[in-house]
Structure 1
């Protein structure tokens, strides 16, 4: 069971689904853009703090001790964290956000193509099942009137005994045209039935199945984007953990050294 078999009579529902998905993707895109902005601002704030502390340390520190070494190491690791966060923000921008932007464009094109093809096959359906039949009906009515007129004139000619052959010839021609058109109309009705069956059993399901396949491919791609986003934004990656471990070790080392120096 899929789009082709389940949504043959749900064109409007399919369009609403596509619109909803596009709005959702735009929301995700906005969220990622804000996350990138936030991470860049955080990285910049950390770097500014490090720069400020480094200037103050250079001016005020008259001697080097274990405490000062630990403190400088903490500043260095904080600066390293700033660089990591900035790199992650850039990776988010060039990776998941870029791919998501391309996906939105692709999805918009898929929707546009789907609407275009659906309109095309729908127009062909209307042409075969309505427009052409209406033309044949109109011609059929006109030929009936012409045949009846020729029949009356033929009767008048017989009654008057004048130009009967010519009147009969016109009557025969009108009758033949009507018979030919009648056969065309019967064939057109049969063709309409076949076209309707083809439309609902094959043409439309194929279009919807193609749409479903593209939808599934995009879902897989979106899952990949989410996975990449999760990996990049993780705060427990090895490089970030190493930074915090270095900070923790610098503090622990200093405290241990100070404990040894106590009487």
Structure 2
């Protein structure tokens, strides 16, 4: 299968094909333009975020969490720079090449139309226009020769000016015969032209168009491959950034998190005054012992209530502690 063998009578179809492909390329161009724009905006947002974070007051206390967070911010800034570079590469690489391809494809279509019209015009001129002119002249000379023949016969019959009529008849016949030869040669030339056009010229143009179409399809494939490579989120540098972020998070150590804080704020234990029963309170009382509970008919009820309340609170506190420990 091929253009030259199968599409010799598909001129309008080929124009539609090229128009459709140009529309597709314009669609791809718009898509890539939006991708470049969105990547630039995303990169600018990442860089703005990190800059605003870095401008905030530094954390006084340095720990595994603060170190990891600082690394996350730093790597996010690196990610923003990478995305900005990728957007610039997309703009200067695939998008620029695509714009060039569209212009080339427009020129190919224009050239194909022009060459097709030239071939068709040349073929029509030789196989139809020139032949129609000769055929019209041929018919006229036939009429002229027949008229001269009739006049010659009339002159012979009347016996007057036969010689003169014969001369006119011979000239008319000579013109007809010469034109006949010219017409025969022109028909042969038209047949050769028609065969050349059908077998060689038209197929050669179509095959050349097919080769250019295939070359431009290959160019588009290369452009899309480059686009995929640049826009991929799995490039080595992108993967490395995310690995660094993940590694920074893994550096957080809850067991070591507060060691530096403890070292910084550790202070010796301050001796506290012991708590003692103030014996001076008993100076005006009658035989109330210090540091002893008085259990008698006057205090029994209140002490019993205190015991019950204390037991209930102890039980509740024990359950709360168990929940805190088990996490339930």
Using structure 1 for the length normalisation, give the TM-score. Answer: 0.93
Partner of 1:233: 231
Q: Aligned residue for 1:101?
A: 99
Deviates more, 1:15-24 or 1:62-71: 62-71
Counterparts of 1:61-80 in structure 2 under 5 Å? 61-80=59-78
Question: What is the rounded CA distance, in whole Å, between the counterparts of 1:196 and 1:141 in structure 2?
Answer: 24
CA distance, structure 1, for counterparts of residue 172 and residue 235 of structure 2: 89
SS at match of 2:255: helix
Q: Residues 261, 76 of structure 1: CA spacing in aligned structure 2 closer, same or farther, 3 A cutoff?
A: closer
8 Å contact from structure 2 (residues 89, 230) kept in 1? yes
Q: Which sections of structure 1, spanning at least 5 residues, go unmatched?
A: none
Equivalent residue, structure 2, for 1:47: 47
Question: 1:33 corresponds to which residue?
Answer: 33
Cα deviation, residue 64, structure 1: 3.2
Question: How do 1:104-183 and structure 2 match up within 5 A?
Answer: 104-183=102-181
2:62 counterpart SS class: coil
TM-score of the superposition, structure 2-length normalised?
A: 0.75
CA drift of 1:227 comes to: 1.0
Return the alpha-carbon distance in structure 2 between the equivalents of residues 165 and 259 of structure 1.
138
Aligned to 2:81: 83
- Determine the structure 2 residue equivalent to 1:185: 183
Q: Give the drift of 1:212.
A: 1.1
SS at match of 2:160: coil
User: Distance between the aligned counterparts of 1:25 and 1:262, measured in 2?
Assistant: 60
Residue in structure 2 matched with residue 259 of structure 1 by the alignment: 255
* Distance in 1 (alpha carbons) for counterparts of 2:63 and 2:134: 103
Q: Which residue does 2:19 correspond to in 1?
A: 19
Contact 2:3 2:210 in 1 (8 A): yes
Q: Deviations over 1:148-205 (max 9, x none)?
A: 2222332333334332222211110101111111122222222222221111111111
Question: Alignment RMSD, CA only?
Answer: 1.6
SS in structure 1 at match of 2:256: helix
Distance in 1 of aligned mates of 2:187 and 2:234: 70
Structure 2 equivalent of residue 215 of structure 1? 213
1:60 positional shift: 5.6
1:50–1:158 distance in 2 versus 1, CA, 3 Å: same
Q: Unmatched 5+ residue regions in structure 2?
A: 260-328
Preserved contact between residue 63 and residue 258 of structure 2 (Cα < 8 Å): no
Larger Rg: 2
Specify the SS of the correspondent of 1:260.
coil
CA apart distance, 1:262: 6.8
Count the aligned residue pairs.
259
Q: SS state of the match for residue 259, structure 1?
A: coil
2: distance between equivalents of 1:209 and 1:119?
A: 16
